[in-house]
Amino acid sequence: MSHDEKVSREMQNAFVDGQLDAADWTLLVERMGSDEALRREVCELRTLKDLTRSAYAGAHSGRAAPAPERARWARVAAVALVFALTGWLAHDALAPGRILTELRGVAADRILVHIASSRGEVVDPALQEVEDYLSEARAAGRQVRVEIVANNTGMDILRANTSAYAARLERLRAAYPNLTYIACNQTADRLREKGAQVKLLPGVQVAPTALDEIVKRMQEGWVYIRA
């Protein structure tokens, strides 16, 4: 920036945000000494910055009480130990056949499948994999347990009035008593706040949050798989 150049808005913002190099910073301060309008504009930017900060200073999560949070994260620390022994099988996407392939590798007998989306490309392969896994375990005489935890839009599959999978889930539950469905109460609360009626499919259980359930199960040695 030269001495004669007009101080741009970008430059003023960079000044109040501490993003100028030393030379430009010095030059701008000098200019403010003789330019009342510039001084005023920079003052206003700093006021806006303060206003923004103060506007959200009181924004706190109403659902996350400090004490339980500490306990929850203490469990997370323990979970890392469990991973080291049982294997960490969390994934971004569920490729066909992957659950079975990877579970065979660690001989897991308790798995938690986390479904956070109601999209067919997420739900369909997840349910198919779960069914194949349960079927294979039964044929081999192995005692296994599977828990499907749903939150966000994934909750839709467990809701009586929104699920496109109600019949399939009911058939699976009837065939495999060792299969459990868990709904996230935090998601349910949010749906209710928006005026939605949340009626769950028969047999669906509720956890305070999906995160709580996942961390609890992982601490108990379950293998976590994200669909």
Partner 1 sequence: MRMAGLFGVSAQFRGRIEAQREPLYRLAYSWCHDAGLADDLVQETLLRALDRAGQLNDPQRLKSWLCAILANCLKDHFRRARPLEPLDEEMPAPGETPEGASASNQVAVRVRAEIERLPLGQRQTVTLVDLEGFSYAEVAEILEVPVGTVMSRLCRAREALRSRLIDFAAQENYKIRSIR
Residues that bind partner 1 (CB under 8 A): 9-10, 13-14, 17, 19, 32, 39, 42-64, 69-70, 73-74, 76-77, 79-81, 83-84, 87-88, 90-92, 114, 116-119, 151-153, 186-187, 189-190, 193-194, 209-211, 214, 226
Closer Cβ to partner 1, 48 or 164, answer by number? 48
Closer Cβ to partner 1, 13 or 180, answer by number? 13
**Under a CB-based contact definition with an 8 Å cutoff, are residues 78 and 213 in contact?**
no
Q: How many CB atoms lie within 10 A of CB 148?
A: 26
Closer Cβ to partner 1, 73 or 161, answer by number? 73
- Which DSSP symbol is given to 200? B
| Phi, psi (deg, nearest 5) at residue 106 | -115, 5
Cα gap 10→1, rounded to integer Å: 12
Report which residue type is found at 85: L
Q: Least distance in Å: CB of 12 to partner 1?
A: 9
Q: Least distance in Å: CB of 37 to partner 1?
A: 13
Cα gap 7→27, rounded to integer Å: 10
Closer Cβ to partner 1, 20 or 172, answer by number? 20
Cα gap 178→172, rounded to integer Å: 10
Q: Least distance in Å: CB of 152 to partner 1?
A: 6
